[in-house]
């Protein structure tokens, strides 16, 4: 990771997208091809709901957020389409593949079936925040074992693996099977995922 | 070619580079998408002072830009081909920046399909790197007023061998750019022992991004003013909207409008399927709005398609004489005599790709031009289909290639990108089309359903003296020609016309089958069903003869020889048969090696455990696989170990190659365990990972040992060839463990339970 960060990265890390749009550095970057390429969709919910609907307050990557859109909207689409946190992936929409895994209060959560209405007061953490202060041991081992192929599922795999290791710091093969069976990798990187989890457990020890 | 005449242009470009410092700074995070929006083909490589061809450019600060023109879907090709350039250039990999090419014919073929990226572009990449290296050496020689022959390249510098004087590439780039581009015949390629990276490999250029959520896929593209679309496609192929009521849809908060998309003109090719699009502020709103649509469909003639009935028809056709596609000796006369005959029917259903990233694409129509951002395996096909759909010249379509969240052949077919372009034109806004998983499964281009009939006349030792094999499957060509019912040579070659067995009387046939869904390429394609039938039938014959499966397989392969396919329409995967002959000796060798590596015949199977073996050549690569399976009393099985030996010729990136074969074992497990798409009344019955399960970590092989043969042969494919032998090896292992012979996939159809 270069020290010269793209503004989108800061945005992705949880700074206020609206403020970001107004800042000077954004304006200058907007003149570049890349800046235009990644213009954020920063208008959460243009249409307001019934007046009695309360704003949903939650924390995403340690930043306070309020949501006033469709309370049935799953967290996944709030993260991706509204906050622009695209590291969390859409894979199946019905909690069968794990590509959308994030942490809620430290536990793995399928964001694709979790309505915003259930998240008042929740603390959500996404992949963008995991490596923010230096790579997590799980990420380090993912790199050391060259785990990813296409990589699309790996945000979810890493989030799931971190949650597993929190619960089972020294997971057995059976623990890994049980803990990771929720997450599909169509490229078939399971063997390396298993090795990386074991190595990360060693690292933590 | 570019020579001294480039000077004036260079002056202009240097100005751009100076002003572009900020631009370069902005690149660091989304480095995949370093390609440019405007001026198709105007890459950083082009803009660098020294740019002897489209693939490489060297800037005055020493940055080496290398263009990756093939799509990255997990094979790490975006790293491996540039690595070949970097090697011949003797570049320091840390100073290489990879740019992803837009679709542009100047790069040659960009359809990242058919496991041929390395094979087709290895020499091109070497030439690109070596040409730039020679120019840098010549520039240094000029500065030092010494003959170029006294200078050599050494990790991003040119060195005067006698004096040890040294000039870094960056300082030479401008001078080198003034030299004429050398003729190909004057460029010396490195010898094998001089290679720095080739054969040793490198991790993915994108590895850090892939592990931190920063990698950008088609799903992650955003444009200013972008709207999101979800499309209700006709449930039956070729269906049309009869009437639509969108009143409830328009009440959904965030929904803007519904937009009809015309049905395709048969044959479907890569055209949009048609239907009704719901356009909204965000993906969720579009999905919700779509659920409220009330559409009456005219389903058309494919509404009669029923997989159960179709399966019976395929088997019946496979039992009738078909079109002869290879004939050796006179099998008929042997079958006519009373002899020891054995025959069997095999079946593999339709299969879906189910890449983790569903189909998705973003397009912007403006002033008669389209810019598309897509996870596509084939950006030039994107240009072609959008040009066709919108009636604009191909040159007015720019296709940026994002990372692909899996492809497996599905993303070679850009119907979904065309949808985004059509919708952008109709709405006047940039549009991202997002397919749900259900859309992805139901509206795939499926791997063909196939029935195979196998028959052998055996001598007293149980060895075939005559062999007939007949396959029947709806051909891929049916998406381009509505009347196509027979397999074409490009797919019949896949493990069928090239049966490598030493049998005096051999006949290979193909029967007709009409398509009722879109048929397409899926990782290893027709090799899947052909290898399943051939390698299972071989194991069945071995068992009947009371022989060891390995010994019997080797006996059928016979002595080392070049397979004679002169009288057969055999395209050899598009490769020259002199460079890539079909060598049975190489198939023998991988088979013998896998027996040794797996401990075949030495490791004694425990209760419920069995070993199976299979060997197959596809995409010019020879693979043999031994699978160990453990089946419990209830019929559930695990795969403790897989050994696979691969002779892919020269391997550029070994660890990445091993990963491809590890992944192929998992992909094969998914096909064998539960891979099945069916239709009833023309409607696909599966929809998501509940009804179309793919292997999870607890179901996949626990350990796959991949052994790469050290080979002097030219490079061959690695993305696909691991899949075909794995499936019959697994099924043969299940037979060894349970005595249950699997002739029909998936395994979920067969009870493996020994106790109820």
pLDDT, tens digit, 9 for 90 and up, residues B411-462: 999 999 999 999 999 999 999 999 999 999 999 999 999 999 999 999 999 9
Residues B399 and B520 both lie in one domain: no
The CATH superfamily holding the domain A56-130 is: Beta-grasp domain (3.10.20.30)
Residues B290/A93, Cβ–Cβ less than 8 Å: no
Check whether B407 has a pLDDT greater than 80: yes
Closest residue in A to B655 (Cα–Cα): A146
Model confidence pLDDT, tens digit, residues B312-328: 999 999 999 999 999 99
Alpha carbons B601 and B621: distance in angstroms, whole number: 26
Structure token pair of residue A51: 């007046």
CA atoms of B706 and B703, how far apart (whole Å): 10
Q: Strand locations in B71-171, DSSP E?
A: 96-100, 151-153, 157-160, 166-168
Tokens of residue B702, six digits: 């626990």
Closest of A41, A33, A174, A183 to residue B30, by C-alpha: A33
B281 at interface of A, judged by CB pairs closer than 8 A: yes
pLDDT reported for residue A53: 56
Asked if the domains A56-130 and A137-204 are classified in one and the same CATH topology, the answer is: no
B16 touches chain A (CB under 8 A): no
3-class DSSP state for residue A125? strand
SS3 A80: helix
Which of B26, B72, B656 is the closest to A6 by Cβ?
B26
Q: In what order do the strands lie in the sheet with B340-348?
A: B323-328, B505-511, B464-472, B450-458, B340-348
Beta-carbon separation of A32 and B37 below 8 A: no
Cα nearest neighbour of B30 on chain A = A6
- In chain B, how long is the greatest CA-to-CA distance? 87
- Sheet containing strand B621-631, edge to edge, reads B609-618, B621-631, B637-647, B704-708
Asked whether the beta carbons of B516 and B474 are under 8 A apart, the reply is yes
**Helical (H) or strand (E) element with B227:** strand B227-232
Comparing CA positions, the residue from B521, B471, B401, B510 lying closest to residue B67 is B401
- CATH 1.10.150.120 for domain A137-204, yes or no, is yes
Mean pLDDT within A102-111: 97
Which of B222, B283, B690 has the CB atom closest to A39's CB atom? B222
DSSP run (H or E) holding B585: helix B584-598
Check residue B575 and give its pLDDT: 97
Q: B238 and B177 in one domain?
A: no
What is the average per-residue pLDDT within B271-295? Answer: 98
The CATH number of residue B169's host domain is 3.30.365.10
Nearby residues of A54 by Cβ (< 8 Å), 6 or more positions away: none
Whether residues B452 and B595 share a domain: the answer is yes
- Give the distance from residue A54's alpha carbon to the nearest chain B alpha carbon, in angstroms: 16
Domain housing B101? 4-210
* Structural domains counted in chain B: 3
Provide the 3-class DSSP secondary structure of residue B374.
strand
Measured between beta carbons, which residues in chain B are less than 8 angstroms from residue A131?
Answer: 211-213
Chain A residues within 8 A of B75 when measuring between CB atoms: 149
Name the residue among B283, B288, B694 with its Cβ closest to that of A184.
B694
- B119's tokens: 């094979």
**Interface A-B: count of C-beta contacts within 8 A:** 258
How many alpha carbons lie under 13 Å from residue B706 in its C-beta half-sphere? 25
* Residue A28 to chain B, least CA–CA distance (Å): 9
Each residue's pLDDT tens digit, B268-281: 999 999 999 999 99
**Quick check: B587 and B500 in contact, CB under 8 A?**
yes
Query: Which residues in chain A touch residue B660, judged by CB atoms under 8 angstroms apart?
Result: 149
Which one of B175, B210, B245 terminates a domain? Answer: B210
pLDDT at B62: 98
Best mutation target among A45, A50, A81, A116 (most B Cβ atoms within 10 Å) is A81
Can you say whether the dihedral through the CA atoms of A55, A59, A61, A64 is positive or negative? positive
Does residue B286 sit in the same domain as residue B251? yes
Query: How sure is the predictor about B390, in pLDDT bands with cuts at 50, 70 and 90?
Result: very high
Asked if pLDDT for residue A204 goes beyond 80, the answer is no
Separation between Cα atoms, residue B120 and residue B526, nearest integer Å:
21
Asked whether residue B612 is assigned to any structural domain, the reply reads yes
What does the alpha-carbon distance between residue B37 and residue B322 come to, in Å, rounded to a whole number? 52
- Of the candidates B51, B113, B89, the residue with the CA atom closest to the CA atom of residue B476: B113
Are B525 and B641 part of one and the same domain?
A: yes
B contacts of A198 (beta carbons < 8 Å): none
**Mutant choice from A188, A192, A196 vs B, greatest count of B C-beta within 10 A:** A188
- Same domain, yes or no, for B100 and B234? no
Cα(B392)–Cα(A84) distance, rounded to whole angstroms? 33
Q: Which residues pair with B364 in a beta bridge?
A: B371
**Nearest to residue A141, comparing CAs of A195, A205, A87?**
A195
Cα A141 to Cα A197: distance, rounded to the nearest angstrom:
7
Q: What is the DSSP string of B43-101?
A: -HHHHSSEEEETTEEE-TTS-EEEEE-S--SSS-HHHHHHHHHHHHHT--GGGEEEEEP
Q: Which of B409, B434, B459 is the last residue of a domain?
A: B434
CA dihedral B92, B97, B100, B105 (to 10 degrees): -60
Residue in A89, A131, A187 closest to B663 by CB = A187
In this predicted structure, the answer to whether residue B208 has a pLDDT above a threshold of 70 is: yes
Chain A positions in Cβ-Cβ contact with residue B706 (cut-off 8 Å): none
Contact B240, B195 (CB under 8 A): no
Tokens of A108: 């793995």
Please write the tens of the pLDDT for every residue from B513-530: 999 999 999 999 999 999
Strand partners of residue B158: B153, B167
pLDDT value for B51: 93
What are the residues facing B280 on neighbouring strands? B228, B255
Dist. CA B464–CA A98, nearest whole Å: 49
Determine the Cα–Cα distance for residues A75 and A126; give it in Å rounded to an integer. Answer: 11
In a shared domain, residues B297 and B311:
no
Residues on chain A touching B664 (C-beta within 8 angstroms): 188
The single-letter DSSP state of residue B212 is T
| B182/B187 Cα distance (integer angstroms) | 7
A121/chain B closest Cα distance in angstroms: 22
How close, in Å, is residue A165 to chain B by CA atoms? 16
Contacts of A2 in chain B (CB under 8 A): 28-29
Report the mean per-residue pLDDT for chain B: 94
User: Which of B28, B434, B701 is the closest to A4 by Cβ?
Assistant: B28
Residue B439 lies in a domain: no
Interacting residues of A1 by C-beta distance below 8 A, sequence separation 6+: B28, B29, B208, B212
Instruction: Please check whether residue B234 is in contact with residue B372, taking contact to mean a CB–CB distance below 8 angstroms.
Output: no
Give the residue-averaged pLDDT of B486-502.
98
Looking at the fold, whether B294 and B319 belong to one and the same domain comes out as: no
B745 and B617 share one domain: yes
Residue A205 confidence (pLDDT): 67
Instruction: Please tell me if residue B203 touches chain A, with a CB cutoff of 8 Å.
Output: yes
Percent of chain B, pLDDT > 90? 93
Helix (H, G, I), strand (E, B) or coil at B473: coil
Res A14: pLDDT: 33
Domain boundaries, chain A: 7-37, 56-130, 137-204
Which position has the token pair 């399966």? B311
User: How does pLDDT run across B20-66, given as a tens digit for each residue?
Assistant: 222 222 222 334 444 444 445 689 999 999 999 999 999 999 999 99
What is the three-class DSSP state of A191?
helix
Q: Mark yes or no for CB contact A84/B222 under 8 Å.
A: yes
Chain A nearest C-alpha distance from B53 (Å): 24
Residues of chain A contacting residue B26, judged by C-beta atoms under 8 Å apart: 6-7, 29, 32, 34-35
Interval B658-713: pLDDT, tens: 999 999 999 999 999 999 999 999 999 999 999 999 999 999 999 999 999 999 99
The pLDDT of residue B302 is 97
Distances, alpha carbon B603 to alpha carbons A185, B494, B598, B632, in Å: 31, 33, 8, 19
Please tell me the total number of residues recorded for chain B in this structure: 756
Which of B194, B210, B226 corresponds to the end of one domain? B210
pLDDT mean across residues, chain A: 81
Determine which helix (DSSP H) or strand (DSSP E) holds B618, and give its type and residue range: strand B609-618
Interface check for B37 against chain A (CB to CB < 8 A): the answer is yes
Q: Contacts of residue A80 in chain B, CB cutoff 8 Å?
A: 220, 283
Asked if pLDDT for residue B486 goes beyond 70, the answer is yes
Tell me what percent of the residues of chain A surpass a pLDDT of 90: 71
User: CB of B659 within 8 A of CB of A192?
Assistant: yes
Is B565 within a domain?
yes
| CB of B736 closer than 8 Å to CB of B626 | no
pLDDT for res B10:
28
Considering only CB atoms, which chain A residues are within 8 Å of B656?
Answer: 146
Distance between CA B686 and CA B223 in Å, rounded? 33
Q: For residue range B546-563, list pLDDT tens digits in order.
A: 999 999 999 999 999 999
Two tokens, residue B753: 């339970």
Distance, in Å, from the CA atom of B710 to the CA atom of B536, rounded to the nearest integer, reads 29
Residue labelled with tokens 């019955």: B685
| pLDDT value of position B693 | 98
Residue of B31, B76, B211 for testing the chain A interface, max A β-carbons within 10 Å? B211
Q: Say yes or no: B644 and B592 in one domain.
A: yes
Question: For residue B327, what are the β-bridge partners?
Answer: B507
Whether pLDDT at B743 is above 60: yes
- Express each pLDDT in A138-176 by its tens digit: 999 999 999 999 999 999 999 999 999 999 999 999 999
Query: Do you find a cis peptide bond into B28, omega within 30 degrees of 0?
Result: no
B216 touches chain A (CB under 8 A): yes
Tokens 């009722």 sit on residue: B516
Mean pLDDT of A19-41: 32
Please tell me the distance from the alpha carbon of residue A92 to that of residue A98, in angstroms, as a whole number.
8
- Whether residue B440 lies inside any domain: the answer is no
pLDDT at B756: 58
**Paired strand residues for B622:** B617, B647
A34 vs B169, residue with greater confidence: B169
Q: Is the pLDDT of residue A31 over 60?
A: no
- What confidence category does residue B338 fall into, taking pLDDT thresholds of 50, 70 and 90? confident
Do A71 and A117 contact (CB within 8 A), yes or no? yes
pLDDT of amino acid A29:
31
Q: Is A18 helix (H, G, I), strand (E, B) or coil?
A: helix
CA distance A150 to chain B (A): 4
CA–CA distance, B398 with B39 (Å, rounded to integer)? 9
Backbone phi, psi, residue B540, to 5°: -65, -45
User: What is the predicted pLDDT for the residue at A33?
Assistant: 34
Task: Say whether both B296 and B429 belong to one domain.
Answer: yes
Task: Tell me if B288 and A49 make a contact (CB, 8 A cut-off).
Answer: no
Is B366 within 8 Å of chain A by CB? no
B166 and B132 in a common domain: yes
A interface test, pick of B697, B705, B719 with most A CB neighbours within 10 Å: B697
Q: What are the backbone angles phi and psi of residue B297, rounded to the nearest 5°?
A: -110, 145
In a domain, B755, yes or no: no
| pLDDT computed for residue A54 by the predictor | 74
Gap between the Cα atoms of B112 and B404, Å rounded: 11
C-beta of residue B744 within 8 angstroms of C-beta of residue B684: no
pLDDT band at A69 (very low <50, low <70, confident <90, very high): very high
Please give the average per-residue pLDDT across A28-36, as a whole number: 33
Give the pLDDT confidence score for residue B752 in this predicted structure. 94
């Amino acid at each position: 990771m270069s020290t010269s960060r793209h503004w989108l990265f800061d945005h992705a890390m949880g700074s206020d997208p609206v403020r970001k749009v107004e800042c000077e550095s954004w304006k200058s970057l907007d003149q570049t091809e890349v800046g235009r390429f990644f213009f954020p969709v920063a208008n959460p919910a243009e249409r307001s709901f019934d007046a009695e609907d309360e704003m949903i307050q939650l924390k995403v990557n340690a930043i306070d957020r309020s949501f006033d859109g469709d309370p049935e909207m799953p967290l996944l689409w709030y993260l991706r389409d509204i906050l622009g946190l695209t590291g969390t992936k859409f894979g199946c929409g019905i909690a069968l593949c794990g590509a959308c895994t994030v942490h809620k209060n430290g536990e793995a959560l399928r964001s694709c079936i979790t309505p915003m209405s259930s998240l008042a007061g929740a603390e959500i953490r996404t992949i963008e925040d995991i490596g923010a202060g230096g790579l997590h041991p799980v990420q380090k081992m993912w790199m050391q074992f060259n785990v990813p192929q296409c990589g699309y599922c790996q945000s979810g795999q890493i989030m799931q693996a971190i949650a597993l290791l929190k619960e089972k710091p020294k997971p057995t093969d059976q623990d890994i099977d049980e803990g990771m069976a929720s997450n599909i990798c169509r490229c078939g990187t399971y063997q390396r995922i298993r090795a990386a989890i074991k190595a990360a457990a060693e690292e933590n020890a | 070619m570019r020579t001294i005449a480039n000077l004036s242009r260079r002056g202009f470009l240097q100005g751009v580079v100076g002003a572009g410092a900020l631009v370069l700074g902005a690149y660091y995070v989304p480095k995949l998408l370093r390609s440019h929006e405007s001026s198709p083909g105007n890459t950083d490589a082009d803009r660098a002072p020294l740019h002897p061809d489209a693939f490489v450019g060297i800037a005055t600060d020493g940055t080496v830009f290398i263009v990756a023109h093939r799509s990255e879907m997990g094979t790490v090709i975006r790293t491996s081909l540039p690595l070949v350039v970097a090697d011949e250039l003797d570049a320091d990999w840390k100073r290489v920046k990879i740019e992803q090419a837009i679709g542009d014919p100047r790069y040659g073929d960009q359809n990242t399909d058919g496991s041929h990226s390395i094979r087709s572009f290895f020499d091109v990449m070497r030439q690109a790197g070596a040409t730039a290296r020679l120019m840098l050496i010549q520039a240094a020689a000029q500065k030092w007023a010494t003959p170029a022959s006294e200078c050599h390249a050494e990790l991003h510098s040119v060195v005067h061998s006698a004096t040890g004087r040294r000039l870094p590439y960056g300082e030479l780039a401008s001078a080198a750019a003034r030299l004429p581009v050398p003729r190909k015949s004057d460029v010396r390629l490195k010898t094998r022992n001089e290679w720095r990276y080739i054969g040793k490999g490198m991790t993915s250029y994108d590895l850090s991004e892939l592990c931190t959520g920063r990698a950008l896929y088609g799903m992650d593209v955003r444009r200013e003013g972008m709207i999101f679309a979800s499309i209700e496609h006709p449930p039956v192929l070729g269906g049309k909207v009869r009437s639509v009521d969108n009143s409830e849809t328009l009440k959904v908060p965030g929904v803007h409008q519904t937009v009809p998309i015309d049905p395709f003109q048969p044959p479907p090719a890569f055209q949009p399927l048609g239907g009704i699009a719901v356009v909204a502020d965000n993906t969720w709103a579009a999905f919700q709005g779509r659920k409220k649509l009330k559409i009456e469909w005219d389903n058309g003639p494919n509404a009669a398609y029923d997989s159960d009935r179709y399966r019976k028809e395929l088997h019946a056709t496979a039992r009738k004489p078909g079109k002869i596609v290879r004939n050796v000796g006179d099998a008929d006369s042997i079958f006519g005599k009373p002899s020891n005959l054995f025959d069997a029917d095999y079946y593999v259903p339709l299969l879906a790709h189910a890449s983790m990233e569903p189909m998705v694409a973003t397009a912007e129509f403006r002033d008669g031009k389209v810019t598309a951002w897509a996870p596509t395996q084939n950006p030039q096909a994107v240009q072609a289909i959008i040009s066709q759909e919108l009636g604009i010249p191909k040159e007015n379509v720019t296709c940026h290639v994002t990372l692909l969240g899996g492809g497996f052949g599905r993303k070679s077919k850009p119907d979904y990108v065309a949808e985004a372009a059509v919708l952008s034109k109709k709405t006047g806004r940039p549009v991202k089309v997002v397919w749900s998983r259900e859309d992805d499964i139901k509206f795939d281009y499926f791997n063909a359903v196939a029935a195979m009939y196998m028959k052998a006349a055996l001598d007293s030792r149980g060895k075939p003296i005559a062999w007939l094999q007949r396959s029947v499957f709806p051909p891929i060509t049916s998406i381009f020609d509505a009347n196509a019912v027979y397999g074409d040579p490009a797919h019949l070659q896949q493990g069928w016309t090239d049966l490598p067995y030493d049998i005096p009387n051999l006949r290979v046939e193909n029967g007709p089958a009409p398509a009722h869904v879109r048929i397409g390429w899926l990782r290893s394609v027709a090799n899947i069903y052909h290898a399943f039938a051939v390698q299972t039938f071989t194991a069945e014959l071995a068992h009947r003869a009371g022989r060891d499966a390995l010994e019997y397989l080797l006996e059928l392969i016979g002595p080392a020889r070049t397979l004679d396919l002169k009288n057969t329409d055999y395209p050899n995967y598009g490769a020259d048969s002199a460079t890539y002959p079909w060598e049975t000796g190489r198939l023998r060798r991988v088979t013998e090696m896998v027996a040794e590596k797996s401990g075949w015949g030495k490791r004694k199977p425990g209760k419920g455990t069995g070993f199976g073996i299979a060997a197959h050549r596809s995409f010019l690569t020879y693979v043999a696989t031994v699978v160990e399976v453990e089946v419990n009393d209830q019929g559930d099985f695990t795969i403790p170990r897989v050994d696979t030996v691969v002779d892919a010729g020269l391997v550029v990136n070994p660890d990445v190659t091993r990963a491809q074969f590890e992944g192929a074992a998992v992909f094969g497990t998914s096909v064998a365990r539960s891979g099945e798409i069916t239709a009833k009344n023309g409607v696909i019955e599966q929809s998501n990972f509940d009804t179309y399960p793919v292997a999870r970590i607890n179901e996949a092989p626990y350990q796959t040992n991949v052994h790469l043969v050290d080979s002097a042969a030219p490079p061959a494919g690695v993305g696909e060839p691991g899949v075909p032998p794995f499936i019959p090896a697994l099924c043969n292992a299940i037979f060894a463990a349970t005595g249950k012979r699997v002739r029909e996939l998936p395994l979920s159809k067969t009870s493996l339970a020994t106790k109820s």
